[in-house]
Structure 1
Amino acid sequence: MDDPIEELRHAHDVLADWYAERLAGALEAMPVDRAVLDLFGELTLAAGLGSDVADVGCGTGRLEPYLAARGLSPQGVDLSPGMIEVARRDHPAFRFEVADLRELPFADASLAGVVCWYSLIFLAPSDRKPAFAELARVVKPGGHLVTAFKDGDGRHRRGGRSAGLGVEFDSYWLSTGEMTELAAGAGFEVVFRAGRPAEEGESCPQGYLLLRKAVHARA
């Protein structure tokens, strides 16, 4: 496909059931991921800005039950209609909507926090600053953004082939430094940063950033 966004959307439509099966119960075996999400939940509620959070790039909706169990009120958005269909099927207690990260369906400063769990790795260079600005737009001053990502060298990669379903898409594994710089440019301050080495079956280290929107930042 000539349009990378449409290619990404189509690929994840095809991959939706594959992801649902592959990632079922995966969070239970990921103590670092759980710890970072727990910290996000605790700090988000402690900020006193409410419990409404968005899972941006929610995929199959696998994080929604976990976030809700921490006292948050999550809703998910994803570029892929196929992913949203699976999320609604598997997690009917939560709200899911098709949406583009670059144009989120939330009012200015309406959310206590945002989760971007491996969803920012698909941003092309020209989309990165606008996407972080959009995340900053919807988060209340003092609210939080948490993201997990593949901590790499920033080079363009093609993903999707390993699923064996005949789809591919662009991905970019940015370093923690690059991610931090983009976040700072949008008005986010680092609260916590972490990483872990690649485990068996992973091709690079994993990075985690927990950020707070500066209170003086524009909504």
Structure 2
Amino acid sequence: MAEGAHVLVTRNGYDAIAEKYAELFRAELDDAPLDRALLRGFAELVRRDHPDAQVLEVGSGPGAVSAHLHQLELQVSGIDLSPAMVDIARREHPEVSFDVGEMSALDRADAGLAGLVAWYSLIHVPGPQRQGVIDEFHRVLRPGGYALIAFQVGDDTLHLDEAFGQAISLDFHRLQPDAVIALLHTAGFELTARVVRSPESTSRATKVPQGVLIARKPS
């Protein structure tokens, strides 16, 4: 797939399934105590080191994670490729600002953010483009800022031609923690935490191990 083509394909796929996706995963965090603990730990790190605690979620989807971070007292906003997802997020979580945007070209100033969250969004970025995306995360974070990245663990790519009765073309790239950590180190991050957990028994997501990394841009 040509560089940038995956952006259009991913946007179209999520536009087609946005309402049903949001309905299925609306309460996903309610039954995910480990995920909530990791998000809380990230929020506390950001608040401890940065009084204003401005955070961006990239790939915010229907907005549940951004809304949860808002409840954790972060000044959070979200961007997503899919206009349909952004519409849902704005409707369901009016307390948070959501816009259409692309993680490889963030509309943010250099060193302006205290935190950045990529919650199962890096998995849609093909391998050749991943380092550029991580470099962009590094650019927008201020010294001492934190990035949190969640992903499915593995070596394969799940391709879907259909979901919720809609024809789509979506790739879900499973990633190895060591490979993502190498990208972070190349960009200039320092690793703060590495967690790999088994699938939540109550989750509607694919039953594969899940990885979460927290990294810090050095002061």
Q: What's the TM-score, normalizing by structure 1?
A: 0.92
- Matching residue of 2:185: 184
Shift, 1:138, TM fit: 0.5
Shift, 1:161, TM fit: 2.9
**Aligned pairs, number:** 214
* Aligned 8 A contact 1:49 1:143 in 2: no
- Matching residue of 1:156: 157
Name the SS for the 1:71 alignment partner.
coil
Counterpart CA distance in 1 for 2:71 and 2:8 is 34
Amino acid of the residue matched to residue 204 of structure 1?
Answer: V
Amino acid of the residue matched to residue 199 of structure 2?
Answer: A
* Aligned 8 A contact 1:111 1:140 in 2: yes
Shift, 1:34, TM fit: 0.3
Counterpart CA distance in 1 for 2:123 and 2:116 is 16
Shift, 1:162, TM fit: 4.2
Shift, 1:125, TM fit: 1.4
Shift, 1:157, TM fit: 2.9
Counterpart CA distance in 2 for 1:119 and 1:58 is 8
Amino acid of the residue matched to residue 167 of structure 1?
Answer: I
Amino acid of the residue matched to residue 145 of structure 2?
Answer: G
Question: Which of 14, 32, 35 in structure 2 is aligned with 1:30?
Answer: 32
Question: Which of 199, 207, 211 in structure 1 is aligned with 2:215?
Answer: 211
Counterpart CA distance in 2 for 1:180 and 1:50 is 27
Deviations 1:120-160 (A, max 9, x none): 0011112101100001000111110011110111x333136
Q: What's the TM-score, normalizing by structure 2?
A: 0.92
* Aligned 8 A contact 2:113 2:141 in 1: yes
Does residue 114 of structure 2 align to residue 100 of structure 1?
no
- Matching residue of 2:81: 79
Shift, 1:4, TM fit: 2.5
Name the SS for the 2:95 alignment partner.
coil
* Aligned 8 A contact 1:117 1:148 in 2: yes
Alignment of 1:1-219 (within 5 A): 3-48=5-50, 50-153=52-155, 155-159=156-160, 161-200=162-201, 202-215=206-219
Deviations 1:100-134 (A, max 9, x none): 11100110010000011000001111210110000
Shift, 1:39, TM fit: 0.4
Q: Where does the alignment leave 5 or more consecutive residues of structure 2 unmatched?
A: none
Shift, 1:180, TM fit: 0.8
Amino acid of the residue matched to residue 81 of structure 1?
Answer: P
Counterpart CA distance in 2 for 1:100 and 1:163 is 25
Amino acid of the residue matched to residue 25 of structure 1?
Answer: A
Q: 1:120 to 1:77 in 2, by over 3 A?
A: same
What do you get for the CA RMSD once the two structures are aligned?
1.6
Deviates more, 1:115-124 or 1:60-69: 60-69
